Structures are given as structure tokens and as C-alpha cells.
Amino acid sequence: MLKVCKFGGTSMADAQAITAVSKIVLSDNDRRYIVVSAPGKRFKQDEKVTDLLYACYREAASTGDCSKIFIKIRERFKEIVSDLGLTLDIESYLNQVEDGINRSASSDYAASRGEYLSAVVFAAKLGYTFVDTEQLVKFGEDGIFLADYTNDLISAKLKKIKNAVLPGFYGSYSDGRIKTFSRGGSDVSGAIISRAVGAAVYENWTDVNGFLTADPRIVENPKMIDCLSYKELRELSYMGANVLHPESIFPVRLAGIPINIKNTFEPSNKGTFIVAESKRPLNKDRVVTGIAGKKGFTVLAIEKSMMNGEKGFCRKILSVLEHKGVSFEHMPSGIDTLSLVISDEELSGKLEGIIHDIRNVVSPDSVEVHSGMSLIATVGHNMANRAGTAATLTAALSSSGINIRMIDQGSSELNIIVGVDSSDYEKAINAVYHAFY
């Protein structure tokens, strides 16, 4: 039963963690292909290696030399190699990376080197083959990931290798320039490799036992989710449950490969399984699978008389967002009203220009801006089959004195999303959680 394992930054943080990871890998001969992240924090005030590498790029871009910051990375990896008792000539790799950052015109190269060095070290620790993903994970010139081409390259390469360690997070363009995924992208790399080798399971090892039904920083002792579907994972991850990168499900879902979230520091815990909806165990008593949310949204409330009879009205408004390079989360509407719910990050520095252009293209009666909104998603397949789910949710918020500023239920009835004032966010999460659990 071939397994692909991905180990996150906390699992690679120091020699002690890496030793624990090596025991996990070597305890099961089915764990043949290992994907690793850059070393993460060893303690709360520590710095992640990837953050240091971004800082190195900025230093090199400003002064032509990143040595002042790179010394922290150098000492970090030298300490890891020394504590592991390896004979690996890590200095030569570090010199190569430092020189590459000084010459690089892209921050992607610098950011990728944490995973690269981590994989070199862990391959030496295990005695496995180091396989660089630089020439295997491919992107088009537009930055779009080339899934099928990548799949063919990885499959052909790893057919010849029984055991390998691969860096996550990055690949390359056709001309060899490094291209990274978004932060947390090693999860995606692990999923891509799982699909390419036809893995029976993709084990994603991190520092928690799996998915919880709610954020433990908000809800006290939330229940563990033993199993959820790819679709439920997608909804919860997108809305802030950040155990797993939301894009990592696509390669494995395509191949029907289950994901098992497990804890490096508590390996006996069975963790959370993520499977196809048809494989998810039926639990009629569980109405809601999980609750997640995000802060930091703004609502643009647009009003115009006879809006419903004006052809192309929505298209014109959305074309404004497209021209500004802004995506939206939700678009609830009425007969003469339409609202756009947009992340504050998307709107940064663009709000005035968007309002100006909306006024020009559709001549609305009014455009109002309402900031300080948070979105909360209540997710679960069983909600579609249970009468009164929305009533339970809204009653819970009402009894807690929380005003609902927006409510939206997807066509699949997999989730209900409500918008509340950010000042009510934590209280709302708790109210919804205790209504269903």
C-alpha cells in the first residue's frame, strides 16, 4: 500500500523533530516518497526559515548582498546537520543558495530554498534519494500549474526510484526559473506527487491531531472530526480552517486518494481522514461537520431603481472588479439592490477607484460602504437532509444578540454562510457551535 507523506515546518524545525519524523517514516515500508517543508518555528518567538529567506531576498535586492540575514539560515542548518550527526557537506549547499539569492531577480527562488535544503538534509538522514521538484513540477508562462505535464514527469521519474525525499512548495517555468505555490504550498506538492505515483493514501503530517469542529482559540475543547469529504474540506479550509492548504485536495480528489491528517508528535493518533463523499461514513446524528470563519470583509451596497430590468447590470459591475484585479466572495441581491462582499486585502488601495468606476458604468442611485464584517461558514453534507438547520443557526445568533448582516446558502446546501460585525465574531462562532454540538 504505497504512501506519500508530507511533513510540515514544525516537523522539520530542528534535529529532535527530524529524528522523530525519521522514526515515523522508517516504521512503515509503505512510506516511500516523502515531501518536506522548510524548517518552521522551534518556539513561539522563533523565525520561520521561509520568512528569513524572503528577508534575504529583500536585503540582496537593496544592497546586493544577503549575508547579514543569511547567517541565521546558515547557522540553523549547520546546527541541524551537526545535531543529527550527519557527514553531509551542508556548507557547499548553503554557499550555493546564498550566491543564488544574491544573483536572483525573483523572490520565488529565495523562498524555495528552505524546502530545498530541508529535503537535502532529510534525504541524508534517511539514506533516501534526493529528488528535486524543480524540473518535475511545471508552470506555464502565465503562472498556471501544468497538472498533466507535471503528473507525467513525476510518474516517469519516480518509477525508477524506490524511496525518495522531495522538496515541496515549488517547481519551475519552462526556462528553468523557480516558481512557488502560495504559502503552505508543500501540501499541494504532496498531493501532486500522491496522484503521480498512484498512492493508496496521502499522509499529511503536522503538529495537530487533525481537523477540529471549530477554532480551539475561540471555542473551548471543540470536538475532533474523524472523517470529512473533499468538499467539506474545501469549504472549511477556504474559510480559515488552515490545517491543510485548500488547493491540495484537487490532485488527490481527481485520483480518489484519501488524505490522512496526522500529528508528528502523537503518531499513534488516527487523525482525520478526508475522502470522497461516497466513501464518507454515514452519521445521521451529525448535522454539521465543522464551523470556520474569517474576519476582514467590506460590503459595497449598490442601489438603483428598476435594477432588475436593466440587462447587463451585474456584468458591468463585475467587469469593474475584473479590470481592477479584484475578486469577490458573495453577491447577494434584491430587486433594486446588489451587494458585493469583498476581502479587505483585495480592496487595499482600490476602493475609491472601484466606487468611481461603478458610478460611471451603471449610474446607481447610491453606493454605500460597510466595513468591519466577518464571515462564518457552517458546513456539513447532512444539513441538506435536516429540516430547521438554518432556523437553528439564526436562532442561536439571535439569542446571543448578534445581528446577521448577510446570509447565503450554496446551491448544494453544503454550507450556510452568515456575515456578522467583526466585533461579534468570536461570540457568533461560539453561539453556532453550541447550537449544534
Q: CA triplet 297, 249, 295: central angle to 5 degrees?
A: 15
> DSSP assignment of 236-275, as one string?
HHHTT-TTS-GGGHHHHHHHT--EEEEETTSTTS--EEEE
Per the model's pLDDT, the better-predicted residue between 72 and 330 turns out to be 72
Beta-strand runs (E) in 8-112: 31-36
Q: For residue 352, count other CB atoms closer than 10 A to its CB.
A: 10
For the ranges 5-19, 225-239, 244-258, 265-279, the maximum mean pLDDT occurs at: 5-19
Scanning the structure block, which residue is given the C-alpha cell 515500508?
29
Q: For residue 33, list its beta bridge partners.
A: 4, 164
Q: What is the spatial distance between Cα 116 and Cα 206, in angstroms, rounded to a whole number?
A: 19
Q: Could you read off the pLDDT of 24-72 as tens digits, one per residue?
A: 999 999 999 999 999 999 999 999 999 999 999 999 999 999 999 999 9
Q: Could you read off the pLDDT of 301-316 as tens digits, one per residue?
A: 999 998 888 899 999 9
pLDDT band at 249 (very low <50, low <70, confident <90, very high): confident
Q: Is 311 exposed, middle or buried (0-12, 13-18, 19+ CB in 10 A)?
A: exposed
Q: What is the spatial distance between Cα 13 and Cα 30, in angstroms, rounded to a whole number?
A: 24
Q: What is the spatial distance between Cα 326 and Cα 340, in angstroms, rounded to a whole number?
A: 11
Q: What is the spatial distance between Cα 331 and Cα 320, in angstroms, rounded to a whole number?
A: 14
Check residue 281 and give its pLDDT.
74
Task: State residue 174 phi and psi, 5-degree precision.
Answer: -65, -25
Domain 290-436: give its CATH architecture: 2-Layer Sandwich (3.30)
CA trace torsion 33, 188, 234, 142 (10° rounding):
-150
Q: What is the spatial distance between Cα 262 and Cα 5, in angstroms, rounded to a whole number?
A: 10
pLDDT band at 266 (very low <50, low <70, confident <90, very high): very high
Provide the terminal-to-terminal Cα distance of the chain, rounded to the nearest Å.
36
Would the pLDDT of 242 be above 80? no
Report the predicted TM-score, pTM, of the whole model to 2 decimal places. 0.87
C-alpha 92: how far from chain center: 33
Q: CA triplet 427, 430, 431: central angle to 5 degrees?
A: 85
Check residue 381 and give its pLDDT.
86
Q: What is the spatial distance between Cα 110 and Cα 51, in angstroms, rounded to a whole number?
A: 10
Long-range contacts of 101-106 (CB under 8 A, 24+ apart): 101/53, 101/56, 101/57, 101/60, 101/66, 101/70, 102/60, 102/64, 102/65, 102/66, 104/57, 104/60, 106/177, 106/178
Amino acid identity for residue 39 in this structure: P
Element (H, E) at 92: helix 90-103
Q: What is the spatial distance between Cα 350 and Cα 8, in angstroms, rounded to a whole number?
A: 35
Q: For residue 302, list its beta bridge partners.
A: 338, 367
Would the pLDDT of 234 be above 90? no
For the chain, the domains span 3-279, 290-436
Q: What is the spatial distance between Cα 210 and Cα 270, in angstroms, rounded to a whole number?
A: 9
Strand ranges of the sheet holding 259-263, from the earlier edge strand across to the other edge: 129-130, 164-167, 31-36, 3-7, 201-206, 259-263, 272-275, 227-229
Closest CA relative to residue 216, chosen from 313, 105, 113, 291: 291
CA trace torsion 315, 317, 318, 319 (10° rounding):
80
CA distances to 154, 282, 283, 382 from 287, in Å: 40, 11, 8, 5
What mean pLDDT is predicted for residues 7-11? 95
What mean pLDDT is predicted for residues 357-364? 94
Check residue 284 and give its pLDDT.
67
What mean pLDDT is predicted for residues 180-193? 92
Q: Where does 3-279 sit in CATH, by number?
A: 3.40.1160.10
3-state secondary structure of 66: coil
Mean pLDDT, rounded, of the chain: 93
Closest CA relative to residue 166, chosen from 210, 208, 112: 112
Query: 296 — alpha (psi -120 to 50), left (phi > 0) or beta?
Result: left
Tell whether the torsion through CA atoms of 413, 257, 242 and 173 is positive or negative: negative
Q: Strand 227-229 and strand 259-263: pairing?
A: unpaired
Q: Is 429 exposed, middle or buried (0-12, 13-18, 19+ CB in 10 A)?
A: buried
